[in-house]
Structure 1
Amino acid sequence: MNSSNKTVAKRSQRDYTMGFKLAVVAQVEKGEMTYKQAQAHYGIQGRSTVLVWLRKHGKLDWSKPIEHSPMSKSKETPA
């Protein structure tokens, strides 16, 4: 029996064209998929790669933290 040695070349960030990055960012920003779904769908290995693309190339403002509802700051307990 001959075992075949299949080597899978890991993709680096240099493999992704600007057009590909922009297409993934557009899909995530439109709500077609989450960034984690995009990673799985396109085989993107880095856990934060898509997030970096969103911050660099996306149209959303990442400079301000998200405001949570006032209920989360309430000290009252529900009845």
Structure 2
Amino acid sequence: MNTTRRRSQRDYSLAFKLAVVDQVEKGEMTYKQAQERYGIQGRSTVLTWLRKHGQQDWSPAALLFVRKGAAMAKPDLPLTPEQRIKELEQQLDEANQKAQFFESVVDVLQKDYGCRVVKKRSGKSSRKSRSRA
């Protein structure tokens, strides 16, 4: 009589789980490759380990954030100075591109349509205020 014992998550030691999670998070292999390499039967077992023991944020809000195309980083971890500089340089580059775009739109309006676009100073409204006597 051939009886095979069905394995469960309890059969894997915590050290083994952490080692697999570490390898997957470092990018050494995908979770499917880890599953094949170590003979892990369940399709979602490694994913469960990643959620429990990994460094990534698996909360619903974080997953929604990732689906929108944002970078996957923990928002509560402080950035290193190098990361902050890179982030600020990207924001500056984007702001410069927007400024160039808006300047070209103003130029087209002035040259092609004869419209004069004037930036209003803050605190000034386009309506004249009426004093009530």
Q: TM-score range by the shorter chain?
A: 0.7 to 0.9
Instruction: Tell me if 1:50 matches 2:46.
Output: yes
Letter in 2 for 1:29: E
Computed over aligned residues only, the root mean square deviation of the Cα atoms, in angstroms, reads 1.6
In the alignment, structure 2 segments of 5+ residues that lack a partner are 71-133
- Give the TM-score normalised by the residue count of structure 2: 0.45
**Aligned match of 1:39:** 35
Instruction: Give the deviation of 1:8 after TM superposition.
Output: 4.1
**Which has the larger share of helix?**
2
Instruction: Give the deviation of 1:46 after TM superposition.
Output: 0.5
Percent identity between the aligned chains? 69
Instruction: Give the deviation of 1:9 after TM superposition.
Output: 3.1
Pick 1 or 2: higher relative contact order, CA cutoff 8 A, min separation 6.
1
What pairs up with 1:1-79 in 2 under 5 angstroms? 7-63=3-59, 64-65=62-63, 66=66, 67-68=68-69
- Give the TM-score normalised by the residue count of structure 1: 0.73
In the alignment, structure 1 segments of 5+ residues that lack a partner are 70-79
Cα distance between partner residues in 2 of 1:55 and 1:29: 11
Q: Which structure has the bigger radius of gyration?
A: 2
Count of matched residue positions in the alignment of Structure 1 and Structure 2: 65
